[in-house]
Amino acid sequence: MKLIIKNGHVIDPANKIDEVIDILVEGEKIFKIARAIDAKAETVIEAAGKIVMPGIVDMHVHLREPGREDKETIFSGTKAAAKGGVTSVLAMPNTLPSLDSMGIIKTLKDIIKKTANVDVFICGAITVGRLGKELTNISVLKKEGIIAISDDGASVDNDELMLKALKEAKKEKLVVVCHSEDKSLSGQGVVNFGFTSTRLGLKGISKESEYKRVGRDIKLAEESGAAVHIAHVSCAESVEIIRKAKKNGIKVTAETAPHYFSLNEEDLLGYNTNMKINPPLRTKDDVLSIIEGLKDGTIDAIASDHAPHTESEKEIEFEYAEFGSIGLETELAVSITEIIGKSLLTWGGLVEKISLNPAKILGIDKGTLGSGKDADIIIVSPEKEWVVRKEYLVSKSKNSAFIGRKLRGIVEYTICKGNIVYKSN
């Protein structure tokens, strides 16, 4: 099977490509990138005026299977991914049961093989049941194919245990994804602590509960030499701590999610539970700091923290509602709207954050369009506008913080390992 993408504006920062050029795909791989490729192919896609870039590598996705198939499945989640231009996802381990044993990972791999629409990589749990008490058998999980470990949703509170996990991860060459939250400080909070929590009459989550734990996780990274990745950075103080650590040569990377650079706590004033997320939407100043962190490289990656929840878990009283927003279908458009639209980064810069850097952090050969690489390619209409509507979402859950928002950028084609897995209509 051959496929040619003609006349698209190709963005591939790994190979410093930012020009109108053709791509020839053969089977699962990219065969050639060159001007005016003249070859016979079964499929020819005319991409004049479109952006052609490596598929998104979303390193923070909750697919909920096994255990909560009512919220999302590997099938539905990866269908949403394909629609959003995401060709690789890292599946987080807070499933039921959690991804903490050889057996469950074997089961999951089987489901992925049978039902996934894009590439799914697995993040194993750090501790058994994600309870923070006892380490999982990390080397066994690694042999089963996990590429990272995390207790996402929780942080390993015990410093010694976390250090032990980091040392183990270093031995196994696994990145450790940290949900940096000190629950003894965030407590029963549901929105950012400050004027907004006062105004809404809701319990607050302090920034301290985040950045203090970011500080600890980085200190342990230094001590162990392990690759530590800070998930969903939401506040100015965390950005500053990570910036300093990087300056001091500590091996740490960081991600933020689209809602942290496009929304702020004041968007919550109507008690929209789809915007109830953890960490919470912060202040306008924090949003500026996140953007600064993206610009100066302190924050390496953009990931969705796609967190599906059913209507009965979301369309209820604010304090009872679950935390989280879905994000696979909107992350690119939000990024184009906020980052490209406001000239905060170049297209190359955005592709680094959303495709190339996450692949590098995870140590997978993705995020680039070099010849011989997996043909994970998306074709995007960068100027087309659309409004996020519940009925258009293909994710099993509809809890998007962006419902009603006008966004720029539509994915026209998603190609995963040479197969067209999504085509807009």
Partner 1 sequence: MTKKKTAKWVHKDLLGLEYLSKEDIELILDTAESFREILDRKIKKVPALRGKTVVNLFYEPSTRTRVSFEVAAKRLSADVINIAVESSSVKKGETLNDTGKNIEALKADIIVVRHNCSGAATMLARNVNISVINAGDGWHEHPTQALLDMFTLRGKLGKLEGLNVSIVGDIAHSRVARSNIWGLTKFGANITVCAPKILIPPGIEKMGVKITDNIDEALGNADAINVLRMQFERDDMKAFPSQLEYFKNFGITEERLKKAKKDIIIMHPGPINRGVEISSEVADGTNSVILEQVTNGIAVRMAVLFWVSQAKL
* Active site amino acids: 305
Measured from the CB atom, is 175 or 205 closer to partner 1? Answer: 205
**Binding residues for Zn ion, per CB under 5 A?**
152, 179, 305
Contact criterion met (CB below 8 Å) for 60 and 94 = no
Identify what 246 binds: partner 1, Zn ion, none; CB under 5 to 8 Å per kind.
Answer: none
Pick the stretch among 214-222, 310-318, 366-374, 416-424 that binds partner 1 (CB under 8 A): 310-318
Residue nearest to Zn ion (CB): 179
Give 270: exposed, middle or buried? Use CB within 10 Å, 0-12, 13-18, 19+.
Answer: exposed
Which segment (24-32, 118-126, 169-177, 308-316) binds partner 1 by CB under 8 A? 308-316
Binding partner of 179, given partner 1, Zn ion, none, CB within 5-8 angstroms per partner class: Zn ion
Tokens of 176: 């450790």
Q: Which does 204 bind (CB under 5 to 8 A by kind): partner 1, Zn ion, none?
A: partner 1
Q: From the CB of 277, what's the least distance to partner 1, in Å?
A: 16
The angle subtended at Cα 168 by Cα 166 and Cα 169, nearest 5°, is 60
Q: Which runs of E-coded beta strand occur in 211-274?
A: 228-230, 252-256
Give yes or no for a contact between 11 and 18, defined as CB atoms under 8 angstroms apart: yes
Which C-beta is closer to partner 1: that of 207 or that of 229? 207
Q: Per CB under 8 A, does 193 bind partner 1?
A: yes
Q: Does 392 engage in binding with partner 1 (CB under 8 A)?
A: no
The residue type at 329: E
Q: Could you say whether residue 335 binds partner 1 (CB under 8 A)?
A: no
Q: What is the DSSP string of 153-192?
A: TS----HHHHHHHHHHHHHTT-EEEE----HHHHTT--EE
Among 312, 389, 390, 404, binds partner 1 (CB under 8 A): 312
SS3 90: strand
Choose from Zn ion, partner 1, none: what does 296 bind? Cβ within 5-8 Å by kind: none
Residue at token pair 């960081």 = 254
Contact residues for partner 1, defined by CB under 8 A: 193-202, 204, 270-271, 273, 312, 315-320
